[in-house]
Amino acid sequence: MLATLADEHFSDPDWLYERKFDGVRAIVVRRDGRTELYSRNEKDMTGTYPELVQALDAQDLPDLVADGEVVAFDDGRTSFARLQARLGLSDPRRARETGVPVYLYLFDLLVLGDADLTAVPLRGRKRVLRRLVRWDDPIRFAAHRNGDGERYLEYACAHGWEGLIAKRADSRYRPGRTTDWLKFKCVRDQEFVIGGWTDPAGSRIGLGALLVGYHPAEGDGRLRYAGKVGTGFTRSTLQSLQKRFSGLGREDSPFDSPVRERGAHWLEPDLVAQVGFTEWTRDGRLRHPRYLGLREDKSAAEVVREG
């Protein structure tokens, strides 16, 4: 179940307000005493976060399916950039050797034993989840506030959070994007499709900037150009991106209108990057964009402009 970006914020006693995490969505599947973790696009993440799996395996839990988010912290704030060291790793030993501590915040319960809970109102699902799990680190409950969304958003923004997720308290769990869950953002960032890159200048290695875009609508084959992203890279990030680009090159631009950037190289539009920015310009370009990392948990076809 996915949230829709909301430009207007509100308080309502019929809604719950949860912290918006800057992490990776995770589906927990418990079968016969064993735990597996999957991304929202069904990639196996069990080996990527072995300490989370171990912590859940140590609990006497029934079979279940739960929804949550894996996070890492940087100076007290959840940081998608810190998780980059873990992404793509399937060897538990290598994942632990990154030295990046991770936590799992659970916020929903879809299945318990043989019972499908998706038709149960959200408030009831969260109540069952809270009583079911032993909340010891690194497993945490995603707490919520009732009703007072605007004041909670002020608190969230003042403390450097990503924002809030507002959820209709009586909503059922429906896969896909919905207006029963809304995103209230403190910062501007979203996913973009990487359609190309430019040559590096000066002492920079690998690439100069990423050329990114989005689809007018989910599943739309067209790719709109949103601009170039030339900051937010480390030396190792630049080297890693060049490796990921191997085999994705193409002769023509994947964007639906001419892109006139010097030294441009084109890519099959398969990779998705998280990008922070200050605002959209009038001509539909990103102002002051910065690279935050690759998203392994979202397909390019899903990437649309959020606001």
What is 102-155 written as a DSSP string? -EEEEEEEEEETTEE-TTS-HHHHHHHHHHHS---TTEEE--EEES-HHHHHHH
> Judging by DSSP bridges, how do beta strands 103-112 and 139-141 pair with one another?
parallel
Q: Are 207 and 51 in contact (CB under 8 A)?
A: no
| Cα torsion through 44, 47, 51, 57, rounded to 10 | 60
Task: Count Cβ neighbours within 10 Å for each residue of 176-210 and write b for 16 or more, e otherwise.
Answer: eebebbbbbbbebbbbbbbbbbbeeeeeeebbbbb
Which DSSP category does 248 fall into?
A: -
Contact 196, 245 (CB under 8 A): no
Rounded distance, CA 69 to CA 47, Å? Answer: 16
Nearest to 161 by CA among 176, 142, 139, 134: 142
Q: What letter would DSSP give residue 98?
A: T
Quick check: helix, strand or coil at residue 56?
A: helix
Which residues are catalytic, by number? 20
**Do the beta carbons of residue 275 and residue 213 sit within 8 Å?**
no
Token pair of 208 as six digits: 């100069």
Contact 208, 195 (CB under 8 A): no
Q: In this structure, what is the dihedral angle of CA atoms 12, 9, 119, 295, given to the nearest 10 degrees?
A: -150
Tokens found for residue 59: 């609990």
Tokens matching residue 54 = 């171990």
